[in-house]
Structure 1
Amino acid sequence: MQAVLFDLDGTLIDTAADFIRIIQEMCRAEGRAVVDADLIRTQVSEGARAMVKLVYPELEVDDPIFLAHRQRFLDLYGADIAVDTDLFTGMYPLLADLESHHIPWGIVTNKPRGLSEALLKALDLTERCAVLVCPEDVKQTKPDPEPMYLAAKHLKIDEKQIIYVGDHPRDIDAGRNAKMYTILAAYGYLPLQHKDNLAAWQADHIVSNVSELHQVLNKLVGIKQHSVT
C-alpha cells in the first residue's frame, strides 16, 4: 500500500467536544432539555442536520425555521472551530511515522470545504495533508466512490494501493466501491443503528483504538513495527 486516506470527524480528528458544547449551548439558550453528550457524539458523523435535529425534533429538516437553526449552528461552529478539538490520542505519531517513510496521507470527507480547511489550519495540518476532497469537489459524495477516485487521481496512486480509514458505513462502502483497502475505526463516532454489528460493514480490518490502527497501517505500508510509539 502506498497511501492512507482518512475520514475527518471521528476518524482523524476528535471534533465531538466542540459539537457537544455548541448543541448544549443552543439547548440552554432555547430553554430546552440539554441533549446528552453521548447521544450527540453518535450523530456527529451524520452531519449538522442530525445534530440540530436533536435540539428541535419537532421540526421538519426542510422547514425554514429548522434551516435557520442549522445555519446558526454552523455559524457558531465556524467561529470557534477548534476550542476543544484535537487529533485523536496517538494520531500525531502515526502521521509522523507515515511522513517519515514518505507515505502520503490525505482526507476524504463529507464536511464542507470551508469548515474542513479552517479545521486543518487550526491544527497546523494544512501543509501536511497531501489531498483534501470535500463535497464541493464532486457530483456524488460518499458512499459513492467518486471522491475516492478523485483523491487517488490527485495522489497519482492506483486506488487498489490506497487504504481508507473511516467510522461510518458510508466510509467503508465508499472505500470498498473504489477497491481500496478499508479499515473501520471503531473508536470513532459509530452511528447507533450500526454499532452493534461491525462485521456487517464488511471492512477489511477493524481497529478499536489509534495504537492498533498505527500498527495495522505500518504493516500494510511496510514500516517496521518498532517505529510505533
Structure 2
Amino acid sequence: MKPEHARLDGIRAVLFDLDGTLVDTAPDLGNALNLQRARHGLAPLAADVIRPQASHGARGLLALGFDLKPDDPRFAAMREEFLQLYADNICQASRPFPGVPELLDALEARGYKWGVVTNKPARFTEPLMSVLDLAERAACIVSGDSCPQPKPHPAPMLVAARRCDALPAQCLYLGDAERDVQAATAAGMPALVAAWGYLGAEDAPHAWGAHAQIHHPLDTLDYLPA
C-alpha cells in the first residue's frame, strides 16, 4: 500500500521503541556481550551476528553469546553480569538512527508529541536518553519496569498515551519487533514496522499485522495528517 493511500487521521502523538527504532544501541550491547565473553574465555562475536539479537535484550544476547536460557541455573548471575557491563559503558557508541533527529524535529515543528515505550529497564533508558539529549524533549518515557507487564502487554502503551494526553487510537507506534506490533494492536494503536531496525532472517514483519512497514524514519511523516 502506498503512503498516500495509508495516511492515518487523528494522530496526536508518535511513540517509539528505543533499541533498534529510535537509537542504534547494538554497538554498546554487543560490546558488553563481548566483554562478558572475554571474561569467560570466549572469542568475540562479529557485530553483524549480534545485531539481529539487539532488540531481544539480555535474554536474546545471552542465548546468542552463551547458549543460556532463562531456566538455566546460571542465567540470573550471567544476566546481572551482562547488565552491569552494559551499564558501565551505556552510551559509548549508541546514536539515533540516521533520519531520527530530523524526524523528531519535524514532529515537534508540526506540534506532535513524541515519546518512548521500551522494554529496556529504566536504569538504562533514563541515562541513555539523557546523554543523547532526548529526555527533556520526550513527552513520555515508559521503560520496561514502569508497569507490572512489559510489551507485548498493552499496559505500557496505554500509560504512554495518557502521558501524551491522547487516546490510544491517536498514537502511532514505531517498533522493530513483533512484540511491538502486538502491544500496539492490543492497545488499539496503529503501528509501523521500523525496517531499519534489528530484524533477523527469521522475522516476518509482513505477517505481524502492522499498518505498514517503512524503511527510513522520515517515511513516518507520510502516514501523518498533512
Give TM-score scaled by structure 2 length.
0.89
Could you tell me how far 1:73 is from its partner in structure 2?
A: 1.2
Q: Which residue does 2:160 correspond to in 1?
A: 151
CA contact (8 A) 1:45 1:191 kept: no
Q: Which residue does 2:199 correspond to in 1?
A: 190
CA contact (8 A) 1:148 1:174 kept: yes
Q: Which residue does 1:36 correspond to in 2?
A: 46
Does the alignment pair 1:23 with 2:33? yes
Give the alignment of 1:102-113 within 5 angstroms. Answer: 102-113=111-122
Gaps of 5+ in 2: 1-10
| CA offset digits 1:104-125 (Å, max 9, x no partner) | 0000110001110010011011
Give the alignment of 1:1-229 within 5 angstroms. Answer: 1-57=11-67, 59-194=68-203, 197-210=204-217, 214-215=218-219, 217-223=220-226
Per mean C-alpha deviation after superposition, the further-off stretch among 174-183 and 8-17 is 174-183
Runs of at least 4 residues of structure 1 off by over 4 A?
A: none
Counterpart of 1:135 in 2: which secondary structure? Answer: coil
Q: 1:185 is aligned with what amino acid?
A: A
| CA offset digits 1:156-195 (Å, max 9, x no partner) | 111111100000000011111112111000110114432x
Counterpart of 1:149 in 2: which secondary structure? Answer: helix
| CA offset digits 1:192-211 (Å, max 9, x no partner) | 432xx32111110101222x
> In the comparison of the two structures, how many residue pairs are matched?
216
Q: What is the distance in 2 between the residues matched to 1:103 and 1:90?
A: 17
Give TM-score scaled by structure 1 length.
0.88
Q: What is the distance in 1 between the residues matched to 2:205 and 2:168?
A: 24
Gaps of 5+ in 1: 224-229
Q: 2:199 is aligned with what amino acid?
A: L
CA contact (8 A) 1:168 1:191 kept: no
Q: What is the distance in 1 between the residues matched to 2:100 and 2:106?
A: 10
Q: What is the distance in 2 between the residues matched to 1:4 and 1:29?
A: 41
